[in-house]
Structure 1
Amino acid sequence: MNWPVFFTRLGSAIVFAIVMMLGLLLENPSAIFMLALLIGFLCIREFFKLMSLIFPDAYFPEWLMWLTQIFGAGVTVSIPMMMLTATPQIAIITVIFPVLLMLLTILHKKTGLIAGFSAIVALFYISMPMAFLVTLRGIYFVIPLALILMIWMNDTMAYIVGSFIGKTPFSPISPKKTWEGTAGGAILTIAGAAVWGYFAPDSVKQNYQMIDWMVLALLAATAGTAGDLLESKMKRLAGVKDSGNMMPGHGGALDRFDSLLVTLPFAFCYAALFMN
């Protein structure tokens, strides 16, 4: 057990949790939008850095990252408005963004086809999950908060269990992950969700059952682990250890939010179908 690394990661995770809670719990509706836009801005910047390293021979226009961040902000804002206000006309804005990005890069004097596809992937990989984060906050403010805590718990418990009893490598993409740690993190996260579902206030139990929180915990553990492996694969292809250096012990924004980005679409689908 590397205690200095553990406490560094734990300290950064606590700061991260506090910032996220403030963004999620403030009653001002603009707070969640500002939080989602900030996360999207930082993650898109690091995503483009990784793509430029993965495809060193491709042409990435300097303006493309900024334009993608602007369009990503539009996606983050427009999708929740469409979902929560039942105005499907807003969906037109979301459809136009990827088309414009592709046209601008293809028709540029130096064809940036790979860069254009990277920009579209960034919208689906980063901006749309941020839109789902805002939408889930509109459905019930506890859902996104619970997801973030579940992901944090799964990550921490998997690290602790794996450090003590982990022997079987989980994936060559991330050699430090073990089956024992992954299973232990998932089991403890689901158990924690069950405890929350059992002791939750009556106002929560009237609308959401214990099974709902356990399913969300399962999604956080499985999809969250997949998101972590996905980002680890991109970093390996790019030849870097971290996507950035924003958080000590955790690296950059993508390093911290990789699990959340992949978990949010699945959580949104479950919440929209069974918890709304």
Structure 2
Amino acid sequence: MRWDPRKYAEFADQRGRPFFDLVSRIGHPAPRRVVDLGCGPGDLTAALARRWPGAEVLGIDSSPEMIARARDGAERPVNLTFATGDAGTWRPGPEDDVIVSNALLQWVPGHRELLREWAAAMGGGAWLAFQVPGNFDAPSHALMRRHAASPRWDSALRGVLRHADAVDEPGGYLRLLAGQGLQVDAWETVYHQVLQGEDPVLEWVRGTGLRPVLAALPAAEAAEFEEGYARLLRQAYPAEPFGTVFPFRRIFAVAVKPPAAAAATGSP
């Protein structure tokens, strides 16, 4: 599946806010290495490099288009590098003191087991912070699935869109990571975003959740699918004089692995 960095960046302010709410809870004072998994076009990864100028900061993404855009970023901090890679096969090393995953894990089947493996491999004192969308039951996604399951599209799109197993609830992630010996802070936030322009919710999902559909259909059929989907979205998210309100639920978890001595003695 190909990603479009320009389309993704159209809502940079709204997409960036959960990231900053997430990383503000990371308490490591001076990490040696910070890894941003699913770094996208790299703008947010650069904020990590500026926060920890003494750390080696690495952004990893599976999309060559995203990494190319990240490497072309102006005024990139000197401690920041980018690489193409697969989060599903990546594992923490002994110097990876902070691991960040922003809106990535919903794309990784079996990511709960991956989180267990990351937790087991993390060194004492290392931090893990991630957020995922919690809006798979929202009209934006429910209508997309309903439209994809209609007689016109079912044969072409059956199995393309995931739902039930895409993400867990905050309590599920808390229990998973606490079960691995980490100290966990998990929560959720609903951002009531006001989007501007014509069919703004369609424009939003074009950059993220609609990508599998667009990748599965030829261009003419993708345009036809979008036309019908847009009509459904206009009814679910009516335009108002000030813009279109688009509630977006996000699920967060920040966890730290106690140092080995503290874990062994039960000390905080």
TM-score of the aligned structures, taking structure 1 as reference length: 0.30
**Structure 1 or 2: more strand by fraction:** 2
Report which of the two has the higher share of helix. Answer: 1
How does the TM-score come out when normalised to structure 2?
0.31
